[in-house]
Structure 1
Amino acid sequence: MTDIRSDSSRRTRPDSPWHVRDFRTLFTATTLSQLGTNVGYVAVPLVAVAALDASPGAVGALAALSTLAFLLIGLPAGAWVDRMRHRRVLIGADLIRAALNASVPLAWWLDALTLGHLFAVVLLTGCATVFFDIGSQSTLPGLVGREALVGANSAVVSLQAVSNIAGRGAGGGLVQALTAPVAVLFTALAHLASALRLIALDGRQAPSRAAPQAPLRAQIAEGLRHVLGNPELRALALTAALTNLGVQIVNTMLPVLFVRELGLSASALGLFWAAGGLGLLLGARCARPLAARLGHGRALALVGPLLAPAALLVPLVGRGSWLWAAGAGWVLAMAKIGTENVLGVSLRQRMTPDDLLGRMNATFRFMLTGALAVGAALSGLLGELAGVRVTLWAGAAVAAVSFLPVLLSPVRVRRALPPRQPEPAAGRAARTA
């Protein structure tokens, strides 16, 4: 049975998710989870460097392994999530991440920590994160109602932006004060707290009604057809993939440029990235007003050409005023991403039947994370062959034109979010049976 107070609040204020108890529960749990993830983003590589004397190549392998999970199991995970109760998926993923991260300081205290252990923890934690991310995005429409998706996604994207700033700053402070392995313990405790908070989530939400006897490959193919066969969803996926590709090419080379070529401090690089987090937050907060004024699709189509070219200021980074100019370009480019994350995710959730939400989200995650992996590899290759500045220009150019798929698609003429999508015939047949 649905919470009566939540239903009443949704009727009186259909554009606000905050009166829905389950949304507040999920948001609080996601806050804890994001905080732990961002502390681990700083602490785990420093465990490899400080405690295990890892080489730069080994540290790079750690980063690759955290991304690899989405490529290995991203697509089947979507089909599995569609078959399971989302609450169980979220709690299980958090408990697994808590146990894996807790094993790092425990092994360190026992003087048994190895680089292979750390590799395994990062890879398996990435696998659990795949399920948490897909499950979280798939359960959101059912919690708040599809009419409140823009507000809910705006809150979640804003949370991610704040977590990127606060969590990574806290991670650095914890490493400095308590050592890197102890900071990883904080990550484990944050995921445990998230799992405990998720116990309060309504567990009666039914899993997908997709036919359980359907082969996994057929279910994955159905998700791919839904995304790639729809011109609007395909445009959203291509724009997001191009954005990730360009940004990753730039991000991979920024530490080399800042520290090695410009002689700037690591804190200057951290502040530059933090400015990007502020831009992401600004874009997320502006998304709803822009959609209300311009129309949902028009806002998505216009924010790209207005803000994306600012990425071309980033390769000009240098000392003095050029650092500020590049920082301003980075803020504007990230603001574009923040707006697209809110409006794009809301649109794709609204265009997808409940039975396909997990597979749709998995398809997007697969494409977007694949773009990150390709971007990192391309950046390293271009950096070796053509130099750091040329690599930055290449990444900035990709980011600057990433808006084209959406601008050239039917998204640009969409005034409002579509009505709730009907259930696929396969899902209706399975439920009837």
Structure 2
Amino acid sequence: MTVPHEPIAPPVPDHRGLWREPGFPAFWLGQGLSQLGAQFAAIAMPIVAVTMLHATDAQMGFLHAAETAAFLLVGLPAGAWLDRMRKRRVMIAADLVRVVAVATIPLLWIAGMLEIWHLFVVGAVVGVATVFFDVGYQSFVPVLVRDEHVGPANGALEATAQTMRLGGPAVAGGLLAVLSAPLLLAANALGFLLSALSLLLVRDREQVRPKHERQHLVREIGEGLRFVARTDFLVRIVGTTALTNLGSTIAMTLSPILILRILGLDPAVYGLLLTLGALGGLAGSLLATRIARRIGEGPALSISTLVFCGSAALLPLAAMLPGAAVPLLVAFEVLLGFGVLVYNIVQVTARQRICPKPLLGRMNASIRFVVWGVMPIGALVSGWLGTVLGTVPAIWIGTVVAILGALPLLLSPYARMRQLPTRPTERPVAAA
């Protein structure tokens, strides 16, 4: 890494120009509709598991592990494969796989054949497709829009996602009064179908590397891993994200049991809690670039990390103070959503900016291999801890791990930088 230089304020992005980018409006619309359907699934799956199929702590651990195992098992080769293919086509195929998989749950329920292991299988299949879609998604934005619009594009997509997370749970909670939870998953399948259709309308400028420029798959995977390992900023981001994901997975895997069974809240209230919590995420997605511009990218990362890590303690506190459970859960969701969205938009934009375009898929896959790969491990640990110690002690353990996860970033020079690195060769320079 070379020369320190005086950090400069990032340029003010032209948000109007973003919407004139060919293909971005269709891409944005499709992803918004997909996110709306996904909110129905976020409520329906745990309700089906906990209230209809009477899942135990261990079974909830198995379910969440199945949903996230693909990032550990196929995350690395997925990135290398994506760098060899047109990312838009891969995302369309992934969407169609998810349509078929999710649609099987309401069909099995209507036939009277739905069992808990069906959720495990569907979760695993959707997880594999999601690996390819998500790695492609993060790598596709810099291909679809010009460099100066990457940050605003990430913000617009996340703002829309948070808007859907805001309205989706409330609509789902209302529908639960007249529909069974498995039927809500049909809306999730429809959302994936609309996402695929929107991607068919998008035209991009991506050029796939010719075959003669490619190396062996293992060597190309190694390039992505080495790029991350040699870039100090990415190492810090991976450390913080992985530890906080591990802790939050341990806690959140058992949160449906805590909310629906131990606290005895109605599924409609559960949906309302998620809706109110999405307000924080919406605010974070709308304000992330402004906050980073006002106080600096490094301080924005630091403050958002403290917010979402500190808020984790409110979840187990709700079990200890049942009379204040609902306001504590609302505060937990709002602060968590706000902190995570600011953190994600700032660090993902920095990752996209720091990485050469031919390495984007492998860089994102390498990072997700670690930061999402800990999630199935955390889910299995959560189920085991819940079985041995009880649901609430297990959630407390996850909370402590999540809070400690803030340290790799907070103890680094990046926590004070006005502008994060724009090249992997730059040494961190704190703002004056």
What TM bracket, shorter-length normalisation? 0.7 to 0.9
The residue aligned with 2:417 is: 414
State the alpha-carbon separation in 2 of the partners of residues 76 and 353 from structure 1.
18
What is the distance in 1 between the residues matched to 2:28 and 2:75?
A: 23
Aligned to 1:243: 244
Partner of 2:14 in structure 1? Answer: 13
1:335 matches 2:338:
yes
3-state SS in 1 of match to 2:312: helix
Q: Partner of 1:355 in structure 2? A: 358
1:5: which partner in 2?
A: none
Q: SS of the residue aligned with 1:83?
A: coil
Amino acid at match of 1:217: V
Aligned counterparts of 1:392 and 1:44: Cα–Cα separation in 2: 20
In structure 2, relative to structure 1, the CA distance for the partners of 1:201 and 1:417 (3 Å cut) is: farther
- Structure 2 partner of 1:344: 347
Q: Distance in 2 between matches of 1:215 and 1:78?
A: 14
Partners of 1:248 and 1:372 within 8 A in 2: yes
CA contact (8 A) 1:247 1:395 kept: yes
Match of 1:153 in 2: 154
The Cα shift of 1:84 comes to 0.4
**What's 2:26 paired with?**
25
Distance (whole Å) between structure 2 residues aligned to residue 323 and residue 172 of structure 1: 16
1:75 partner amino acid: L
The answer for the alignment partner of 2:293 in structure 1 is 292
Rounded to whole Å, the distance in 1 between the matches of 2:275 and 2:61 is: 21
Relative to structure 1, is the Cα distance of residues 193 and 260 closer, same or farther in structure 2, using a 3 angstrom cutoff?
closer
User: Hey, what does 1:68 align to over in structure 2?
Assistant: 69
Partners in 1 of 2:310 and 2:280 — Cα distance? Answer: 15
- Looking at structure 2, the residues matched to 115 and 180 of structure 1 have their Cα atoms a distance apart, in angstroms, of 14
**Contact preservation (8 Å) 1:208, 1:354:** no
Contact 1:223 1:363 in 2 (8 A): yes
CA RMSD of aligned residues (A): 3.2
How far is 1:343 from its partner? 0.2
- What's 1:140 paired with? 141
Aligned position for 2:219: 218
Q: Calculate the TM-score normalised by the size of structure 1.
A: 0.83
Q: Deviations over 1:260-303 (max 9, x none)?
A: 44444444444444343222222222211111112222321333
Letter matched to residue 244 of structure 2: T
1:342–1:47 CA distance, 2 compared to 1 (3 A)? same
Shift of 1:366: 1.7
* Corresponding position: 1:128 with 2:147: no
- CA drift at 1:394: 2.4
- More deviation, 361-370/163-172: 163-172
TM-score, with length taken from structure 2: 0.83
CA contact (8 A) 1:300 1:344 kept: yes
Distance in structure 2 (CA, Å) of the matches to 1:80 and 1:279:
36
Counterpart CA distance in 2 for 1:338 and 1:315 is 22
How many residues matched?
412
Aligned to 2:402: 399
The separation in 2 between residues aligned to 1:99 and 1:270, in whole angstroms, is: 25
Superposed CA deviations along residues 357-394 of structure 1, whole A, max 9, x for unmatched, are 11111122222222322322233333334444433332
The 5 A counterparts of 1:25-424 are 25-44=26-45, 55-56=55-56, 60-106=61-107, 119-174=120-175, 176-208=177-209, 213-305=214-306, 308-317=309-318, 318-321=321-324, 323-325=326-328, 327-416=330-419, 418-419=421-422
One-letter identity of the residue aligned with 1:379: S
Q: Note the alpha carbon deviations across 1:182-201, whole angstroms, 9 max, x for none.
A: 43333322222221111121
**Kept in 2: contact 1:23–1:143 (CA 8 A):** yes
8 Å contact from structure 1 (residues 209, 355) kept in 2:
no
Q: Once the two structures are superposed, what CA deviation does each residue of 1:295-321 show, in whole Å capped at 9, x if it has no partner? A: 222321333336633433433212334
CA distance, structure 1, for counterparts of residue 149 and residue 202 of structure 2: 18
| Paired residues of 2:287 and 2:342 also in contact (CA < 8 A) | yes
Distance in 2 (CA, whole Å) between partners of 1:72 and 1:27 is: 29
| Separation (CA, whole Å) in 2 of partners of 1:393 and 1:63 | 18
* C-alpha displacement of 1:153: 1.5
Structure 1: 5+ residue stretches without partners: 1-9, 423-433
Q: Which runs of no fewer than 5 residues in structure 2 stay unpaired?
A: 1-10, 426-432
Give the Å deviation of 1:108. Answer: 5.7
Secondary structure in 1 matching 2:366: helix
Deviates more, 1:188-197 or 1:319-328: 319-328
Q: Secondary structure at the match of 1:376?
A: helix
Question: Closer, same or farther in 2 for the Cα pair 1:417/1:268, shift >3 Å?
Answer: same
Distance 1:67 1:371, change over 3 A: same
Equivalent-residue separation in structure 1 for 2:330 and 2:175 (angstroms): 27
Which residue number corresponds to residue 430 of structure 2?
Answer: none
Q: Counterparts of 2:283 and 2:312 in 1: how far apart (Å)?
A: 16
Calculate percent identity across the aligned residue pairs: 39
